[in-house]
Each structure stands twice: as C-alpha cells, then as structure tokens.
Amino acid sequence: MNPSYKMPKENFVVATPGRSVCDDNARALEHHGLLRFLALATRNGSKGIPPERTRLKPAVGLAAYAAARMLSTFAAESFRMRLHPWFDHWVKKQLEPGNHIISSYGYVNASFQWVRKHGGKTLLDGGNSHPENFWTILSEEHKRWNCPYPPVARHHYERSMAMMEHVDYVLSPSSFVSRSFLERGFKPEQMIRNIYPLDLSCFKPPTEGRPKDRPLTIISTGALSLRKGAPYMLEAFKIVHQKHPSARFRLTNVVQNSAAPILEKYRDLPIDWAPSLPHPQLAQRLQNSDIFVLASLEEGLARTALEAMACGVPVILTPNTGANDFVEAGKIGEVVPIRDPQAIADAILKWGDLIMTRSTPPTRMFDPNLISFESFEADFISQLADRGVLNSPA
C-alpha cells in the first residue's frame, strides 16, 4: 500500500440476502475498520461481524423460507429471487454518499446505481461466471437433456444482466470467471482476485496406506445437477465399471430437479449414497476414497475439489470448475473437457492404475495457506488499495 495515502473508515457496505462468501469480505473489511455494515435478510448475523455493524431484514428471509416449505424447488427459488427488489429497496434507504458496496448477481441493482451516482464503487461477487455465459451454456445443456426448467428463473437472469452496466469491479475466484467477463468487455483492471478462504483443518490425508482390498472408489461430493455435469460423471463411471466391476461411486444424496430423470437411467450402477455430512465425516469419506471427480459446466470455484486435494485425493476436473486453477496435470489430477465422459473415464482409469499399486499414504496436493483466511484478507485489502478504492489523499 502507498504510504502517502490513508484509508477512509467505515464506508463499505456488504449486502446479500443470505449468509454467503461475501461474509468473508465483510470480515476482512471489519478487521481493517472499513466496514460500515453487513446487510442480511436473516434472523441472525454472521460470525465475526459485531451487532453494531449488522443490519437484518428477517421478513425477507421468512418469506423465502415459507415458499421453500410450500412450493417445488424451482418455484421456491424463483419466488425467493422475486424478493430481491424488496431487499434492495431496504438496503438503498440506508446508504450514504461515498459508500462502496459489495453484493452479487441481481440482489441490489438500485443500490448499485445509487452508490455510483453518489461517489462510491460497486463490487460484484463473481460466484458464478458472467450471467450471459451462465445462461448460454446451461440453456444449451437443459435443452440437450430435455429439461423443462430454465437454468434459473428468467426474471433473475434479466435482473442480473441489467446489473452488469453498474459494476465497477468483479471479485473473481477463478480464471474461468475472469475470462467470462473479459470476453464480454470488462477490462483486466476491473478483475479483483477473490479466492474464497476455506477451513481445511478437518481435511488431511490419511495416515495409513491404501487398503489392498479396497475396490477402486470414485467420489464426488455436493449436489447432483446438470450444471455440475451429473450425466457425464455417471456415464464415465459406467465406462469405468465395465473395466473394474468392483469399482464404486460415492455420491451425496442431494439431487436437483434437473438431474433426477437422468439418474434413473443409471440405477443399476453401484452407487454408495450418503447424506450431506458435517466436515469431520466428509473428510473421513474423502480419505477413504481414491479419486475425486467433478464435471461442472459452470462453477465459480468448486471448494469441494479443494477439500479432496487437501485429503491427498487426486481430482479429475473440467476447466469450468474454478478449482482447476490449482491442478497441475499429471501431478495432482487431470483437467478434461466439458461434456466428455470418455475423457473422464480415461483419466480415472489412468489414476486408478497408479493409486491401486501405491503402498504409502498420500500427501496433501497443495499448500492450504493459499486459501487461508489470512491470505485471503491480505490479498483482498491490498488489491482494493492498489486500485484506489481504499485510499484518499493524506
């Protein structure tokens, strides 16, 4: 940071309806005395943010919760997104001239416009790729599989697209996200690296070697959906299973509407289902697996893949997962094209041959300090300062 400048205090607003990765940005700002308030549509605030820096609008969250209890998954999500203008209006009333604001797609369009008109900067959390890229690639995928649902409610897509002209900076967690914005007219200096911090204290390699009697065990954690490439992973495992009849595929029993009909076609495969697990149990499940697979067509940063790598599990990823930025092909896994089950299967078989003959325990596949909160905070604040968002003449 330039020593000839000083930081203004308490002029950042972070506004998201639910607790999210933006909470980490809020915590970093709070540590430096830069957070004015964190706005949430929940009953409770976020850890590390004091009450005096927290503004809550639980009525919005309560309405979304009621919809989730009464409507289908897609209808409830669509209704929840209809509530964003209400949340936006509430946030806007609390803004002051000179405030900067951090939010994500379609949440606070009017607030973004107000901030720019009154001397502040707007920062978009790029938790997914540019809305146009998101919509294009997933609309094609939904059409391919005759899915009756759009990738997301069209009104939310349109609201997200309208927000783009009011974005000063994109908080980007991966090269995939950055590229999607650069290809649509954003400039490199508008990209702020924002690799989400992750607590890996539970995720460590096993201390003992691989049991010789364990069948080849592939794992993918997280929900199953078209966006996450569920049909390509299942087809790849079908290919693998033909060569390794004892192989098994570990999945999480959280299936999105878009993937449910496809899953029926693979009911004969040996799938080991588990519910969503707390970190200690999830880490144990990863430690007892051989290869992690994620075939996403669109993802900002798949932290599930980083958890697997922290456990010493090699990963097979597409270039659209974000986590592929951490993969050195041939050393800690492979990066394969999207929509290519044969390439996934070939990579699994390649690594399976290596793993099943290994006698020593695996090692961590990357330095966890790269995604510690301390590294995230230092990098985030430094980049804001470098772009002049923090500094004012001394």
Query: Using one digit for the tens of pLDDT, what is the confidence trace for 39-87?
Result: 999 999 999 999 999 999 999 999 999 999 999 888 999 999 999 999 9
pTM over 0.85, yes/no? yes
Which residues fall within 8 angstroms of residue 298, CB to CB, at 6 or more apart? Answer: 128, 129, 133, 134, 137, 138, 227, 320
Amino acid of residue 12? F
Q: What is the CA radius of gyration of the chain?
A: 22
- Closest by CA to 174, choosing from 122, 127, 136, 225, is 127
Q: Cite the residue boundaries of each domain of the chain with CATH code 3.40.50.2000.
A: 5-197+372-387, 217-368
Q: What are the tens digits of pLDDT across the range 201-257?
A: 999 999 998 998 999 999 999 899 999 999 999 999 999 999 999 999 999 999 988
By CB neighbour count within 10 A (0-12 exposed, 13-18 middle, 19+ buried), where does 379 fall? middle
State the architecture of 5-197+372-387 in CATH terms. 3-Layer(aba) Sandwich (3.40)
Q: What are the tens digits of pLDDT across the range 102-120?
A: 999 999 999 999 999 999 9
Residue with tokens 């000179």: 98
Q: What is the pLDDT of residue 394?
A: 33
Q: Write down the CATH number for the domain with range 217-368.
A: 3.40.50.2000
The SS3 of residue 308 is helix
Q: What is the pLDDT of residue 139?
A: 97
What is the token pair recorded at 65? Answer: 């919760």
The two beta strands, 169-172 and 122-125, are parallel
Instruction: Identify the bridge partners of residue 5 per DSSP, sorted by sequence position.
Output: 393
Amino acid of residue 394? A
Q: What is the pLDDT of residue 360?
A: 83
C-alpha 122/C-alpha 100 separation (Å) is 6
